Amino acid sequence: MSTTEVEPVLTVSGDALVTVLEIRASEDDPENTALRIEITGSNMTDYQYALELMPVRDATEGDAIYTQGEHNELTVIIAGDSVKNMIGSSLDIPAHAPAGGLVIRNPNTPDLLGDLDLDLSGELPEKIQAVLDQAINPMLASHGGSATLVGVDGDKAIITMGGGCQGCAASAQTLRDGITTMLKEALPEISEVVDATDHTAGENPFYS
């Protein structure tokens, strides 16, 4: 096993530590079982994660491995390709969650355009459509949703959301924090993105 011993990438709160240790207690060898966390994607505004318990010995090359707790009772493994985007994050319990659970608070946000090589030729409407087709709609498709260009008013892009995004409780935030950010980053000439969605007409929202 080749891993990197580092300062904590993600800190575990006392309450979260208790929760994880309670779950880990049911493992065959709890003392040698680690909590592994990996970024698996994003929902345009936040990263999505996979958390699992695994033997410490199964950490792989490039992973960050360190301990948490007053007595170093929990080993944490951060997947190597997730380290950069998780520095400064914390694992805690939700502020309002009677059923319990865990939440990751991460000050880092997804690089929405990433390394995409966008073809942004043509007039502004064609450029906007290219960003929708090549970058935005592939992300929304995972939720059964889509974004469509209604029109352009000067330097304003008018967008409507459909499929699982229509009527979805999170769609307004997705458009405001995700789609708007991506469009303005790719096309600085856009001053505003207008939401023309009739959210009351959604028949199959992803979140309701």
Q: State which residues form the domain around 175.
A: 124-201
User: What's the mean pLDDT in 186-201?
Assistant: 83
Q: Which pair of tokens denotes residue 109?
A: 């946000």
Q: Say if strands 156-163 and 145-153 run parallel, antiparallel, or are unpaired.
A: antiparallel
Q: Which pair of tokens denotes residue 30?
A: 């709890």
pLDDT of residue 16: 96
Short-list 29, 25, 39, 58, CA closest to 108: 39
pLDDT tens track for 85-121 = 999 999 999 887 555 689 999 999 887 677 667 888 8
Tell me which of 43, 75, 105 is where a domain ends. Answer: 105
pLDDT of residue 98: 59
CA gap 204, 44 in Å, rounded: 20
By the 8 A CB rule, do 124 and 146 touch?
Answer: no
* DSSP 8-state assignment for residue 44: S
User: What is the count of structural domains for the chain?
Assistant: 2
Residues 6 or more apart whose CB falls under 8 angstroms from that of 93 comprise: 13, 15, 16, 19, 100, 101, 102, 103
Would you place residue 191 in the very low, low, confident or very high pLDDT band (cuts 50, 70, 90)?
Answer: very high
Average pLDDT, the chain: 85
CA gap 43, 109 in Å, rounded: 10
Would you place residue 59 in the very low, low, confident or very high pLDDT band (cuts 50, 70, 90)?
Answer: very high
Same domain, 128 and 100: no
Same domain, 47 and 128: no
Q: Does a structural domain hold residue 190?
A: yes
pLDDT of residue 181: 86
Same domain, 9 and 85: yes
pLDDT of residue 195: 86
pLDDT of residue 167: 52
Residue 205 clears pLDDT 50, i.e. is over it: no
Q: Does a structural domain hold residue 60?
A: yes
List of E strands, 56-205: 64-68, 74-78, 89-92, 103-105, 145-153, 156-163, 192-195
